[in-house]
Amino acid sequence: MTRNGRQYLAIPGPSVMPDRVLAAMHRASPDIYAGELPEMAPGIVRDLKALARTSQHVAIYIANGHGAWEAANANMFSREDAALALVTGRFGEGWAQYVSALGVEVTRLDFGKQGPVDPTRVAEALRADASHRIRAVVMSHVDTTTSVRNDVAAVRAAIDEAGHPALLAVDCIASLGCDVFEMDGWGVDVMVCASQKGMMTPPGLGFVWVSDRAKAACAGSGWRTPYWDWTPRIEAHEFYQYFGGTAPTHHLYGLRTALDMLLHEEGIEAVWRRHGTLARAVWAAVDAWGSGNDGIGLNVAEPEFRSHAVTTTRFAPARASELRRWVEANTGVTLGVGLGMGPPQERVSDGYLRIGHMGHVNAHMTLGVLGALEAGMQALGIAHGKGGLAAAAAVIAGA
Ligand SMILES: *Cc1c(COP(=O)(O)O)cnc(C)c1O
């Protein structure tokens, strides 16, 4: 057995947390009325905006990603509204269900599990809505189940081309701090994220970034309730107003450190480049394993539509769960299950697994995961093309 040693959870969130983030949280309860913690808030808000590349607004919630969806929904919609949901995997469908549970009429455009949103179909659907009942277009930047990455700017262009006033609302829970994202540059109105993926902080904080346009357009939304209303959080005059009550004290210390590492030490462009290189190393290995073997392969054919944070990988027929178990038991690496890739009634698919490469991750960790997978395929007699590790190493060497 070669399992003992530091364990590595290589799933697409919660991601690896830096020891410095954990250490920053290890302290007695801080004062929430005066001193260091309240004084930290404006800087955190400023850096959250920098992370999303916006000069507009951000609201913080004590919530996971599902809570951030609910926060965005509660501000955007009234009961009589309609929404257009662009679905490229289970998380896109999940947000659509949350919207429709409010009584909002949701039209889904499903683009399957292996490719991106087609902006032409978005423009068509918006043009068909002559009375402009559609209040918002909701989509995932990256869908974490399929690892499809969508072209957000192209969706904005489609909305504009259709001459439709709908807001553009984007789920960046799996992509912020991993893939390039430009809120203002791409014309995004509402963006949601949670703390535990690219943001390298424990689960428990949800964020909603808001454009000036969305702030004005949503002022009269019928689903607003005191807790979810983003207005006081965006315009907080007192520390408690940022959180609608007691602050998430320890999370804020962790987040402060994570933002320092991402923005002020490594720099967000370098963070994006690191994720890009690690993703290409994973793709090179999987391509090599799959050459001459059609059971193994990347879920998304075109590189420009692949996530840089997670890679959904086919190990068919039905060898993925077995391989995942072997790798966990023998190497100390835990990989992500294949979620929502099979028929609708099947939550976990044995034909796929997901390799997480998001957050506080570097070359030795990703090469280690790939090496663990290669050992597992050898041990289990899973036929695979040669040279996967060498191909991954070449990507790192050439970066
Ligand atoms: C993880 C994730 C979610 C759900 O976030 P939770 O914190 O688990 O509620 C939603 N959307 C995407 C794209 C995700 O990656």
- Written as tens digits, the pLDDT of the chain (399 aa) is 899 999 999 999 999 999 999 999 999 999 999 999 999 999 999 999 999 999 999 999 999 999 999 999 999 999 999 999 999 999 999 999 999 999 999 999 999 999 999 999 999 999 999 999 999 999 999 999 999 999 999 999 999 999 999 999 999 999 999 999 999 999 999 999 999 999 999 999 999 999 999 999 999 999 999 999 999 999 999 999 999 999 999 999 999 999 999 999 999 999 999 999 999 999 999 999 999 888 999 999 999 999 999 999 999 999 999 999 999 999 999 999 999 998 888 899 999 999 999 999 999 999 999 999 999 999 999 999 999 999 999 999 999
B/e letters for 249-261, b = 16+ CB within 10 Å, e = fewer, are bbbbbbbbbbbbe
Inter-residue contact 309 to 145 (CB < 8 Å): no
**pLDDT for residue 48:** 98
Tell me, in angstroms, the distance from the centre of ligand 1 to residue 91's CA: 7
Q: Distance between CA 142 and CA 31 in Å, rounded?
A: 38
Residue with CA nearest ligand 1 atom 6: 65
The residue written with tokens 């992500």 in the block is: 336
Give the residue, out of 173, 192, 193, 311, with the most ligand 1 atoms within 8 A of its beta carbon, to mutate for a pocket test: 173
Predicted confidence at residue 111, as pLDDT, reads 98
What fold characterizes domain 20-264? Aspartate Aminotransferase; domain 2 (3.40.640)
Q: Of 386, 375, 382, 391, which Cα lies nearest the Cα of 320?
A: 382
- Output the CA torsion sign for 31, 33, 39, 40: positive
**What pLDDT score was predicted for residue 128?**
98
State the pLDDT at residue 294: 87
SS3 140: strand
Say what the pLDDT of residue 266 is: 98
> Looking at this protein, which amino acid is placed at residue 290?
G
Question: 365 C-alpha vs ligand 1 centroid, how far in Å?
Answer: 23
CATH number corresponding to 8-15+267-397: 3.90.1150.10
CA of 68 to the centre of ligand 1 (A): 9
Measure 188 CA to ligand 1 centroid, in angstroms. Answer: 19
Whether the model pTM is above 0.75: yes
Q: Do the two domains 8-15+267-397 and 20-264 of this chain adopt the same fold? A: no
Angle, helices 65-76 vs 90-100, to 10°: value is 40
Distance CA(95)–CA(140), nearest Å, equals 9
Q: Domain residue spans in the chain?
A: 8-15+267-397, 20-264
- Taking CA atoms only, the protein residue closest to ligand 1 atom 5 is 65
Please calculate the CA angle 159-192-253 and round it to the nearest 5 degrees. 155
Contact residues of ligand 1, CB 6 A cut-off: 13, 64-66, 91, 140, 143-144, 171, 173-174, 194, 203
- CA gap 84, 170 in Å, rounded: 12
Q: How far is the centre of ligand 1, averaged over its atoms, from the C-alpha of 110 (Å)?
A: 19
